[in-house]
C-alpha cells in the first residue's frame, strides 16, 4: 500500500459510493446542462438541507463557486472584505479580482479568522465616489487554518451585514468538516446565522468534482444561470455532478466522511504533540493540523509523505487528513517523524 499524502484533502480519490453513483448515472441519454432528473433530485437534497426557498447552482470548482457567489452580490465598484488568509485572496490567482473587477479588502486574521469588530475600520468613504464601496463580507468555514467560526460569531457578522446593508458570503469548501465538528446542520450555523450566499464544497470530501453555489436570498440568483455559463462553470453533462451530490447526502455520507477526517486530524495532532520539538501552531478544529518541526525534519518528511509549507518564514507546514486517511497512515507518519526528530537518521 502506498503512503498517503498529507498535502491536501484533494489528494485522495473518489469515495466508492460516489463512484458507484457516477456509474449508475452513466446509462442512456438525458438532457444536458442540468435539465435532467438527477439534477432535480440533487437540488431537492439541498432544499431538504436548507429549506425550499433557496436557489442552488452546481459548478465544477471551488474557485468558480466563490467567484459566482460574489459576482451575484457585487457591482465592479463594490468591494469584498475578507481575511488575509482567505482562499479568495491568497489562492485563486486573482480570479475574483479579474472576474469581478472588484477590490478585495483583506483584514488581518488570527488563527485564520476575522472578527466583526474589525469591519468598521474599513467601512469608510461609503457613498464617496473616490472609494471602492464595501458590499460583501466573505468568511471561510472551516477556515484556511483549519479553525471554526462559532455559530454566534457568524451570526454577529450576519447581524452586522443586515444593519450595514452588506451581504454575507461564505466559502464552504469544507462545510462538511465544519458541520461534523460543530455537530450542527449548516442550516443553523449558515443560513440562520445570516449568510446570504455560500459555496458548498464536495470535491474535498470524497466527490470527484462538484461544488454548489447556494443562495438564501433567491433574488441574488436572478442572473446566475447566465453568469454561470459566461463564467465557464456550466457543465453540459450535469447529471454527473448531480448524481455525486445525491450520493454525498445519502445516509449522511458527507458527514460521516468529514467526521472521519476530523477525527484522524485529532489523532495526528495528539501524536505530534508527544514528539519533543514539534509545535502545533493552530487549534485543530477540523481535518487540518498546522505544525512546526525541528530544523530539517519537515523537508525530509515532506519528501516521503508530501505536504505543503504554509508559512515559509516560520517553516509552518499544513498536514491534512482525507476521507480515506487511516489510523495506520498516521502511525507510519508519526513513527518516521519521531525517528527524524530523535536524530536517529541523518537528515540530508
The least distance separating ligand PLP from the CB of residue 324, rounded to whole angstroms, comes to 17
Q: What is the DSSP letter of 197?
A: E
For residues 151 and 118, give the distance between their C-alpha atoms in angstroms, rounded to a whole number: 18
The least distance separating ligand PLP from the CB of residue 147, rounded to whole angstroms, comes to 12
> 92, exposed or middle or buried, with CB in 10 Å at 0-12, 13-18, 19+?
buried
59 vs 297, beta carbon nearer ligand PLP = 59
The least distance separating ligand PLP from the CB of residue 1, rounded to whole angstroms, comes to 26
The least distance separating ligand PLP from the CB of residue 169, rounded to whole angstroms, comes to 12
**In contact, 133 and 122? CB cutoff 8 Å:** no
- Contacts of 43 by beta carbon, 8 Å cutoff, 6+ apart: 56, 242
140 vs 282, beta carbon nearer ligand PLP = 140
Residue nearest to ligand PLP (CB): 62
For residues 269 and 304, give the distance between their C-alpha atoms in angstroms, rounded to a whole number: 19
The least distance separating ligand PLP from the CB of residue 304, rounded to whole angstroms, comes to 23
12 vs 63, beta carbon nearer ligand PLP = 63
244's grid cell: 455525486
The binding site for ligand PLP (CB under 6 A) comprises 61-63, 87, 140, 144, 171, 173, 203
233 vs 300, beta carbon nearer ligand PLP = 233
**In contact, 119 and 139? CB cutoff 8 Å:** no
The least distance separating ligand PLP from the CB of residue 71, rounded to whole angstroms, comes to 15
Dihedral angle, C-alpha 40, 178, 86, 76, nearest 10 °: 30
Strand order, beta sheet including 316-320: 279-280, 288-292, 316-320, 308-311
87 vs 169, beta carbon nearer ligand PLP = 87
Sign of CA dihedral 301, 305, 306, 312: negative
153 vs 171, beta carbon nearer ligand PLP = 171
The least distance separating ligand PLP from the CB of residue 211, rounded to whole angstroms, comes to 7
5 vs 275, beta carbon nearer ligand PLP = 5
- Contacts of 85 by beta carbon, 8 Å cutoff, 6+ apart: 109, 112, 140, 143, 144, 145
The least distance separating ligand PLP from the CB of residue 205, rounded to whole angstroms, comes to 12
Count the helices and strands in the chain (H runs, E runs): 13, 11
For residues 177 and 336, give the distance between their C-alpha atoms in angstroms, rounded to a whole number: 27
203 vs 282, beta carbon nearer ligand PLP = 203
Rg (CA), the chain: 21
Amino acid at each position: 500500500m502506498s503512503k498517503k499524502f498529507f498535502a491536501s484533502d484533494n489528494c485522495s480519490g473518489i469515495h466508492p459510493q460516489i463512484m458507484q453513483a457516477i456509474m449508475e448515472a452513466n446509462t442512456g441519454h438525458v438532457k444536458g446542462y442540468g435539465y435532467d432528473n438527477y439534477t432535480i433530485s440533487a437540488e431537492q437534497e439541498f432544499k431538504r438541507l436548507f429549506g425550499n426557498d433557496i436557489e442552488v447552482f452546481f459548478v465544477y470548482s471551488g474557485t468558480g463557486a466563490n467567484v459566482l457567489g460574489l459576482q451575484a452580490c457585487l457591482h465592479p465598484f463594490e468591494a469584498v472584505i475578507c481575511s488575509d488568509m482567505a482562499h479568495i485572496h491568497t489562492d485563486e490567482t486573482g480570479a475574483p479580482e479579474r472576474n469581478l473587477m472588484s477590490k478585495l479588502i483583506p483584514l488581518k486574521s488570527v488563527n485564520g479568522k476575522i472578527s466583526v469588530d474589525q469591519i468598521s475600520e474599513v467601512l469608510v468613504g461609503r457613498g464617496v465616489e473616490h472609494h471602492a464601496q464595501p458590499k460583501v463580507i466573505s468568511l471561510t468555514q472551516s477556515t484556511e487554518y483549519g479553525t471554526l467560526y462559532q455559530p454566534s460569531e457568524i451570526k454577529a457578522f450576519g447581524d452586522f451585514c443586515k444593519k450595514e446593508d452588506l451581504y454575507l458570503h461564505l466559502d464552504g469548501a469544507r462545510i462538511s468538516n465544519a458541520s461534523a465538528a460543530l455537530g450542527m446542520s449548516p442550516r443553523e450555523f449558515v443560513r440562520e446565522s445570516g449568510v446570504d450566499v455560500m459555496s458548498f464544497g464536495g470535491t474535498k470530501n470524497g466527490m470527484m468534482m462538484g461544488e454548489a453555489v447556494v443562495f438564501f436570498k433567491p433574488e441574488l440568483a436572478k442572473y446566475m444561470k447566465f453568469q454561470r455559463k459566461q463564467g465557464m462553470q456550466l457543465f453540459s453533462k450535469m447529471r454527473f455532478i448531480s448524481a455525486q451530490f445525491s450520493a454525498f447526502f445519502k445516509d449522511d455520507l458527507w458527514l460521516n466522511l468529514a467526521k472521519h477526517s476530523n477525527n484522524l486530524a485529532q489523532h495526528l495532532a495528539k501524536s505530534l504533540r508527544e514528539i519533543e520539538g514539534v509545535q502545533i501552531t493552530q487549534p485543530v478544529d477540523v481535518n487540518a493540523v498546522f505544525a512546526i518541526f525541528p530544523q530539517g525534519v519537515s523537508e525530509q518528511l515532506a519528501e516521503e509523505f508530501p505536504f505543503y509549507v504554509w508559512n515559509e518564514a516560520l517553516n509552518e507546514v499544513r498536514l491534512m487528513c482525507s476521507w480515506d486517511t487511516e489510523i495506520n497512515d498516521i502511525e507510519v507518519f508519526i513513527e518516521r517523524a519521531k525517528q527524524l526528530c530523535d536524530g536517529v537518521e541523518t537528515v540530508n
